[in-house]
């Protein structure tokens, strides 16, 4: 009997992925349906609905759910959910559709799913701004001038504002997991697969380390704190699409493999990957990370400085604080059960001669090597020397090899958190 946390929503894992003859029959039907081209973000959302990662969602949000999630972080039925999961279409496609009609959802020639359209609703610029202000606006310096900065500098806001004129909502039948099972064998896992692996180890209290950057010494330290206080830690990497200048998943997976091989006791660590694109929604995305981690059987999310942030849009520990402000439905099934494992700002201290945090190190800023994924990417991209104790040499060798092969490098902007200027 599994002792892992139950899936979010109180309905078990809600998996929309078809198999066997049902899958083949639906593929044949899809060939005769009207096709809707979807974005990379939508593809990731679809796969998560397929494998149960977005339980209890079984489709894209209708207007009532979208509005309630933006305003209250609740689905229309009162279940906690922190960010909209929507599907945008053009005005021309919306005009040609009818409620109750089935469509095929296609990404670059591959039919990913079929969908029954149950709601067609306009998304004006005002609606998009409403979503952006509630979901992406934080408490950092850039949010004081949000609409001056965000349309150019916040990838999540840019994504929403670039969406087409309408959304459609309704249930989906997912036909594919895309390239992820083949591209990341042994790393990409469905919630059921990861749960089975953790059950075999008899884990009950599990922490997840969210990663979108190469794993540096701070990440390693956070993971080891999790190992000390939990039965095990899942190093859970995003293997979907990132913004320009971020490091591809294949490279990051190699880095983690190297660290796990050389610096962790393997009985207490699992490396896994999930297929989403980043939304860069800071605190709201931290809540999303906790919500779908619960579906993977994980009941603690390691949350450090500026979790899922971008630029200076969020307060340093806003992603920790938001967990204390969320709605808590009386029904256990509708409430978020995965809780944060909050860690203070971490760094290498020369005087302490080891990794430390603001809570454990009494020394000054000049004694500390400030660690951040953004800072590491900037140094490597510019060919700068990486300070001692910033990362493991085996990992830095992999990253230097990657950067040496790049023909076009993207300028990496430093926010105050990554630079250490807010300490």
The residues carrying an active-site annotation are: 212-213
Identify the bridge partners of residue 170 per DSSP, sorted by sequence position.
60
d(CA 223, CA 204): 17
158 neighbors 144 (Cβ within 8 angstroms): no
The answer for residues whose C-beta is within 8 angstroms of residue 404's C-beta and 6 or more apart is none
Give the chain's radius of gyration (CA, Å).
Answer: 21
- Cis? peptide before 56, omega within 30° of 0: yes
In which residue are the tokens 């800072």 written? Answer: 375
CA triple 34-36-41, angle to 5 deg: 155
DSSP class per residue in 27-75: HHHHTTSEEEE--HHHHHHHHHHHHTTTTT--EEPPHHHHHHHHHHSB-
DSSP annotation of 367 reads G
- Assess contact for 191 and 295: CB atoms under 8 A: yes
CA 30 – CA 195 distance, rounded (Å)? 32
Phi, psi of 273 (to 5 degrees): -135, 150
Strand order in the sheet with 368-370: 354-357, 346-349, 368-370
DSSP state of 372: -
Burial of 109: CB neighbours in 10 Å, binned 0-12, 13-18, 19+: exposed
Place of tokens 């959910």: 81
What does the CA dihedral 58, 64, 68, 70 come to, rounded to 10 degrees? 80
Residue 270: beta bridge partners?
234
- C-alpha 176/C-alpha 27 separation (Å) is 10
CA distance 212 to 308: 8
Give the residue among 308, 242, 251, 246 at the shortest CA–CA distance from 275.
242
Cα gap 156→179, rounded to integer Å = 24
């Amino acid at each position: 009997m599994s002792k892992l946390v139950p899936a979010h929503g109180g309905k078990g894992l809600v998996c929309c992925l078809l198999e066997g003859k049902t899958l083949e029959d639906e593929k044949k039907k899809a060939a005769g349906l009207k096709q809707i081209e979807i974005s990379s973000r939508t593809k990731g959302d679809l796969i998560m609905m397929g494998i149960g990662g977005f339980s209890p969602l079984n489709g894209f949000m209708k207007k009532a759910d979208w509005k309630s999630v933006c305003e209250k972080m609740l689905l229309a039925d009162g279940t906690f959910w922190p960010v909209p999961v929507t599907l945008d279409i053009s005005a021309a496609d919306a005009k040609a559709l009818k409620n109750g009609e089935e469509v095929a959802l296609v990404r670059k020639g591959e039919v990913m799913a079929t969908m029954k359209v149950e709601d067609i609703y306009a998304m004006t610029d005002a609606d998009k701004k409403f979503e952006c202000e509630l979901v992406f606006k934080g408490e950092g310096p850039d949010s004081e001038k949000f609409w001056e900065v965000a349309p150019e500098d916040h990838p999540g806001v840019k994504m929403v504002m670039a969406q087409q004129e309408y959304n459609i909502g309704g249930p989906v039948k997912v036909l594919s997991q895309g390239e992820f099972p083949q591209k990341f064998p042994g790393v990409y896992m469905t919630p059921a697969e990861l749960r089975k692996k953790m059950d075999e180890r008899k884990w009950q209290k599990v922490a997840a380390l969210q990663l979108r950057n190469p794993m540096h010494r701070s990440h390693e330290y956070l993971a080891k704190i999790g190992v000390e206080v939990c039965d095990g830690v899942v190093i859970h990497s995003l293997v979907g699409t990132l913004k320009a200048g971020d490091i591809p998943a294949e490279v990051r997976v190699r880095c983690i493999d190297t660290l796990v091989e050389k610096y962790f006791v393997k009985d207490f660590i699992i490396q896994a990957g999930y297929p989403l694109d980043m939304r860069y929604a800071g605190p709201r995305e931290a809540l999303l990370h906790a919500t779908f981690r619960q579906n993977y059987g994980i009941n603690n999310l390691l949350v450090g400085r500026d979790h899922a942030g971008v630029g200076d849009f969020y307060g340093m520990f806003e992603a920790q604080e938001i967990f204390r402000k969320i709605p808590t439905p009386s029904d256990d099934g509708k409430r978020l059960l995965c809780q944060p494992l909050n860690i203070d700002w971490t760094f290498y201290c020369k005087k302490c001669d080891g990794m430390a945090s603001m809570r454990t190190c009494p020394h000054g800023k000049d004694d500390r090597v400030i660690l951040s994924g953004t800072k590491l990417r900037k140094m490597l991209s510019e060919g700068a020397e990486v300070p001692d104790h910033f990362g493991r040499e085996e990992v830095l060798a992999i990253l230097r090899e990657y950067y040496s092969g790049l023909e076009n490098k993207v300028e990496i902007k430093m926010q105050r958190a990554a630079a250490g200027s807010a300490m």
